[in-house]
Structure 1
Amino acid sequence: MDNFIERQLGPENERGHWALIGGPPCQAYSLAGRSRRTGDESFASDHKHFLYREYLHILGKFKPTIFVMENVKGLLSSRNGDSSMFQTILEDLKRLPGGASYEIRSLVVDAEPRDLDPSDFIIRSEEYGVPQKRHRVILLGVRSDVAGCLPRSALKKADGPVTVRAALQTMPSVRAETSKRRPKIDQDWVAVQNQALDSVRRMESVSKHEPVKAGTLAIDEYEGWIHETSLSAPIQHDPRAHMVSDLARYRVMAELAERLGKSPKYTDLPVSLHPEHSNVGRERTPFTDRFRVQVWDAPATTVVSHISKDGHYYIHPDPQQNRSFTVREAARLQSFPDNYFFEGARTQQFHQVGNAVPPLLSKQIGVVVADMLGAL
């Protein structure tokens, strides 16, 4: 890796000012990753806790003028033994090899580094024009020898959120096929669906949540970023096939979401549509949101790589479409431009979408970094 970087940068005396942007692997810090290792005594010594040191090694050896380091929000609560991983990383940044040192800044709070709290490093994507509630920890490091020359620069918040409706309103309507596997519900799925919908219609009326006020300027910027005029139709917009039982659930969940103005729990479904899991119906059943509708008039929840396994957390809000999101719809919620092509099988495409930093947010961070480098 060192040799590759040296070839890219050229001789040290000719490099000038440059930036390193990236993020160490997050498996040891994410809430999902930690929950899977609950009770695992080997987790504390897992080398994944310390893969960030490879990133710090590059900082110490090559001394970029500016660096941007991204990781999951769970980093702030992650611990290794009695030590906070976030504080450990900050301390290690003070002891880089080769004498390099950096002033660590926030991209969202204009304050002296000594006055920053850990939460000041959280960037909430929905506040910056991304139609998704994706929260990440991002550190901005400025090399100490130039830090005094560069004023602190914070990202500019959007005038309001970009909603799922704004992100998907130009997507063509498509329907999913049924899976060839034997459905868990033996009855005709249309009959099951109609019976469940009758139950929904008989529910007492409920007060809807007030929809958020979308950002007019934010939507204009988002649409200008997303759309590609040379495309006659969106690419990679083929829905995956679903089991018959899931098609019925998705339809009813979407109908309920329209009534409630929020995603229902699976416990709101008629009993005939409850998933056949061993813990369903027990007291304190976990993951009652295991089926989640992304509601129209709010940003989506975080798109994660698990979408490659199933679409249960990403049910389309239109009951008539009755399916989970396509790769292109997930990509729009991540703010990938429509002309971005995802390689590989659909599972790999979903992985690429779910593991990404939203490109529209990346662009805004890139502008901040470019302006800083341009001022030197």
Structure 2
Amino acid sequence: MQCIDLFAGAGGLSEGFKRAGFNILAHIEMNPSAALTLKTREAYYYLREHHQLYKYKKYLLGEIDRETLYSFIPNKILDKVICECISDNTIEDIFNKINNLLKNADNNQVDLIIGGPPCQAYSTAGRGRLPDKMKNDARNYLYIQYIKFLEKYRPKMFIFENVLGIFSAQNGKILEDINYRIDRLGYTMDVSIVDASDIGVLQKRKRVIIRGIRKDLNLNMIELNFQSKRKNFVLKDLWEDLPLLNAGESKNGKVYIKKPNKCIKSLHLREFGWDILTWHNSRPNNEQDLKIYKICVQTWNDKRKKLKYNELPLELRTHKNCKTYLDRFNVLDYEGIAHTMVAHIAKDGHYYIHPDLKQNRSISVREAARIQSFPDNYYFENSRTAAFTQIGNAVPPILAEFIANNIKEILERRQF
């Protein structure tokens, strides 16, 4: 079965659907760094399939550059990544590129479309920060572009992923309009709320999943079964094999300090024989931040209490506002799971302070990636800031795989 991933980001949805056996015909993504990450992931899969994974490892170890890595990969594989912003001005060009990919595919039809428009315009936090509550944000209407792909390719099903704020966006009018347009196209849709932690991701992450089926297929939805698959793993288990870091430090290469434990194995973070750690890089912090981190971690360890900004010593406060946004600093719980990973981690790590007092820093890129359930062989391209942004915006691959298996079960009930 063949699918297109719209607004693909770093490829969390694609990764999950690929694991479930879907072929990703095309990834559409406007961000150049995320698009390179998608190409590098396609390179990984191609080289693994052709028993040449040593070439990918050479790239991760810095023995060859990206251009050399891509030279090993056929253009038809790299061309699956279409780096364009989806708009009225570009959509026909994107359609043409997809059509060319379809000509060379074993299956010349699109069975499934997946993706979710950027969520900032629907986010309640985003609306709260801006005076016009993002009513004039063009991203509010990217769902219309998504629906144009449904109209063009008539897939059997679709998946539309987004934040809970889509329910209240423009007082519910956005979701109403999606439902109206979908119905007119001949699809029925089902709306579910999922929490990634219910299916094993070590993070509280609630999302809206809209599943759609073409009416003429006479297929019924199979309920998304949210019975907990978590095995009482905690963040301490998730990071057990990673070397200790100081703020501003990096430890990459063949530097794992332990073999993978049950948690790491069950989440498929280190496949058998994988020995190269990448992006275990932590951002540098100034002395004031490190003093604040230390106090926050000590308070959490001693009292299981999160320190509010107005409870910091006066000499460590840099803002006069001590009435709002008091939870500027947040320590992750070694003995629990993480709160929601968001793209703001690219700006600072104050909301993701490492719980180990000896390390006294915010979490590394790889630690964040593991919270999102990305495997260690997943490489994020370009800068640390770009990597954090991609991770914060992503759909956890384990959540994507869970949804993909549900879609697969629905479609396999009928022979096409």
Flag whether TM exceeds 0.5 (same fold). Answer: yes
1:229-308, aligned counterparts within 5 Å? 229-232=272-275, 234-273=277-316, 275-280=317-322, 285-308=323-346
Counterpart of 1:138 in structure 2 is 209
> Given the alignment, which residue of 190, 193, 198 partners 1:105?
190
Counterpart of 1:326 in structure 2 is 364
Give the residue type in structure 1 aligned to 2:117. Answer: P
CA RMSD of aligned residues (A): 2.7
The answer to whether the Cα contact below 8 Å between 2:194 and 2:209 also exists between their aligned partners in 1 is: yes
1:12-51, aligned counterparts within 5 Å? 15=108, 18-39=111-132, 43-51=134-142
Q: Distance in 2 between matches of 1:48 and 1:150?
A: 29
Counterpart of 1:72 in structure 2 is 163
The answer to whether the Cα contact below 8 Å between 1:155 and 1:364 also exists between their aligned partners in 2 is: no
The answer to whether the Cα contact below 8 Å between 1:70 and 1:137 also exists between their aligned partners in 2 is: yes
The answer to whether the Cα contact below 8 Å between 2:110 and 2:154 also exists between their aligned partners in 1 is: no
Look up the SS of the partner of 2:121 in the other structure. coil
Look up the SS of the partner of 1:170 in the other structure. coil
Q: CA deviation at 1:135?
A: 1.1
The alignment status of 1:128 with 2:199, answered yes or no, reads yes
The alignment status of 1:345 with 2:388, answered yes or no, reads no
Q: Distance in 2 between matches of 1:165 and 1:29?
A: 33
Look up the SS of the partner of 2:361 in the other structure. coil
The alignment status of 1:6 with 2:104, answered yes or no, reads no
Q: Distance in 2 between matches of 1:162 and 1:362?
A: 20
Counterpart of 1:87 in structure 2 is 176
Higher deviation after alignment, 343-352 or 29-38: 29-38
Q: Distance in 1 between matches of 2:221 and 2:329?
A: 47
Q: Distance in 1 between matches of 2:115 and 2:285?
A: 36
Q: Distance in 1 between matches of 2:224 and 2:247?
A: 46
Unmatched tracts of structure 2, length 5 or more: 1-93, 250-261
Q: Distance in 1 between matches of 2:104 and 2:413?
A: 23
The alignment of Structure 1 onto Structure 2 pairs a total of residues equal to: 310
Q: CA deviation at 1:302?
A: 1.1
1:174-193, aligned counterparts within 5 Å? 174-177=245-248
Counterpart of 2:252 in structure 1 is none
What do residues 127-183 of structure 1 show as CA deviations (whole Å, max 9, x unaligned)?
Answer: 1100111111111111112243664453553145542222222221111149xxxxx
Q: CA deviation at 1:320?
A: 1.0
Look up the SS of the partner of 1:35 in the other structure. helix
The answer to whether the Cα contact below 8 Å between 1:263 and 1:294 also exists between their aligned partners in 2 is: no
The answer to whether the Cα contact below 8 Å between 1:237 and 1:327 also exists between their aligned partners in 2 is: yes
Unmatched tracts of structure 1, length 5 or more: 107-120, 179-218
Closer/same/farther in 2, CA of residues 94 and 308 from structure 1, 3 Å limit: same
Q: CA deviation at 1:15?
A: 4.1
> Given the alignment, which residue of 253, 261, 271 partners 1:228?
271
Look up the SS of the partner of 1:301 in the other structure. coil
The answer to whether the Cα contact below 8 Å between 2:113 and 2:158 also exists between their aligned partners in 1 is: yes
Q: Distance in 2 between matches of 1:11 and 1:229?
A: 33
Look up the SS of the partner of 1:272 in the other structure. helix
The answer to whether the Cα contact below 8 Å between 2:330 and 2:351 also exists between their aligned partners in 1 is: yes
**What TM-score, normalized by structure 1, do the two folds share?**
0.75
Q: Distance in 2 between matches of 1:177 and 1:10?
A: 48
Q: CA deviation at 1:328?
A: 0.2
